[in-house]
């Protein structure tokens, strides 16, 4: 299962959300990191076919999302998409909502469709809430319901825009378990760097509509090796510093303070350093 963006651009009026981008995604879990407005959501919406690119070609499993109606429909049969925000229609139950989306995903046979709805409800631990109206569900449960609709039909390409927003640590761990065992390609846009380090085979960092890093988690960590320190005082010129629970100050970047020692960087450290190297992310 291969997904490609070939010279894809997206502009909203004069604002360029995605500069010409050529990238290929193969099997595995890929994390999209970046600040707000970096182009993550735009990239996912273009891949999902919810949005037409201003230029370029998007291909999902050999079918052009940007091609003919038939090609786009073929591509859509392979896509499960979770938007950043899902506003649910009033009055629907959890089961009814998924049943409706399952119909739109071409599950015509009622028995098979209902079995599939029950399967995804169980996957997100909502089997017991099937008959509850969506408006009566908690925020976390609604988010899981939104994830469930993306999982209908076990799509080969799963596009998840900030799936862990509103989930508690246990639910996030459960979602990681669910996604890590999946075949096919999973693209996750997130601000949670710990999700990336725990789950992703590959990380793509976007900034101001451009890809500024593309590699594995160890590759990303390697960019921060020897640049994160901990000690009683902060590194001069550090990108970020904060006092940890032990009372020591953790410094990301900058010149090492004389009494500090280098520590293992996290994905968040590496991300902060990467951001500081871009014009948009550099400290004022």
Q: Contact positions toward other proteins, by CB under 8 A?
A: 10, 12-13, 15, 17, 37, 41-42, 45, 48-52, 69, 73-74, 76-77, 79, 81, 83-84, 86-93, 95-96, 99-101, 103-108, 110-111, 113-114, 118, 130-131, 149
- Considering the complex, what minimum distance in angstroms separates the CB of residue 139 from other proteins? 16
- Considering the complex, what minimum distance in angstroms separates the CB of residue 229 from other proteins? 36
- Considering the complex, what minimum distance in angstroms separates the CB of residue 147 from other proteins? 12
Q: Which of 13, 143, 167 is nearest to 84 (CA)?
A: 143
**Closer Cβ to other proteins, 150 or 239, answer by number:** 150
Burial of 198 (0-12, 13-18, 19+ CB in 10 A): middle
- Angle, in degrees to the nearest 10, between helices 110-123 and 94-104: 120
CA distances from 149 to 95, 225, 276 (A): 10, 40, 37
Distance from C-alpha of 219 to C-alpha of 154, rounded to nearest angstrom = 30
- Considering the complex, what minimum distance in angstroms separates the CB of residue 218 from other proteins? 31
User: Which residues, in sequence order, are CB contacts of 197 under 8 Å at separation 6+?
Assistant: 217, 266, 267
Distance from C-alpha of 29 to C-alpha of 203, rounded to nearest angstrom = 9
**Closer Cβ to other proteins, 131 or 246, answer by number:** 131
**Closer Cβ to other proteins, 2 or 93, answer by number:** 93
User: Which residues, in sequence order, are CB contacts of 52 under 8 Å at separation 6+?
Assistant: 46, 66
**Closer Cβ to other proteins, 122 or 222, answer by number:** 122
**Closer Cβ to other proteins, 101 or 221, answer by number:** 101
Report the first-to-last Cα separation within the chain, whole angstroms. 43
Sheet holding 15-25, edge to edge: 15-25, 3-12, 55-60, 63-64
- Considering the complex, what minimum distance in angstroms separates the CB of residue 39 from other proteins? 9
**Closer Cβ to other proteins, 50 or 222, answer by number:** 50
- Considering the complex, what minimum distance in angstroms separates the CB of residue 249 from other proteins? 35
């Amino acid at each position: 299962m291969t997904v490609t963006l070939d010279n894809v651009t997206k502009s909203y009026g004069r604002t360029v959300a995605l500069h010409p981008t050529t990238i290929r995604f193969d099997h595995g879990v890929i994390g999209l990191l970046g600040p707000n407005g970096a182009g993550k959501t735009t990239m996912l919406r273009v891949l999902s076919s919810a949005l037409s690119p201003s230029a370029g070609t998007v291909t999902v499993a050999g079918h052009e999302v940007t091609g003919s109606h038939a090609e786009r429909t073929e591509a859509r049969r392979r896509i499960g998409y979770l938007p950043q925000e899902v506003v649910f229609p009033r009055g629907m139950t959890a089961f009814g909502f998924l049943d409706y989306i399952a119909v739109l995903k071409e599950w015509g046979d009622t028995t098979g469709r209902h079995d599939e709805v029950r399967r995804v409800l169980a996957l997100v631990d909502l089997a017991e809430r099937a008959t509850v109206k969506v408006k009566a569900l908690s925020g976390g449960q609604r988010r899981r319901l939104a994830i469930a609709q993306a999982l209908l039909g076990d799509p080969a390409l799963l596009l998840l825009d900030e799936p862990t927003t509103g989930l508690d640590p246990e639910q996030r761990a459960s979602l990681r378990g669910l996604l890590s065992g999946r075949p096919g390609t999973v693209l996750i846009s997130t601000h949670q760097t710990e999700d990336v380090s725990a789950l992703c085979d590959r990380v793509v960092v976007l900034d101001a509509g451009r890809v500024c890093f593309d590699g594995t988690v160890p590759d990303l960590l390697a960019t921060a090796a020897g640049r994160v320190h901990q000690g009683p005082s902060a590194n001069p010129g550090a990108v970020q510093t904060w006092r940890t629970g032990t009372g020591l100050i953790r410094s990301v970047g900058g010149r090492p303070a004389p009494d500090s020692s280098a520590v293992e960087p996290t994905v968040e450290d590496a991300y902060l350093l990467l951001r500081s190297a871009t014009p948009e992310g550099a400290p004022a």
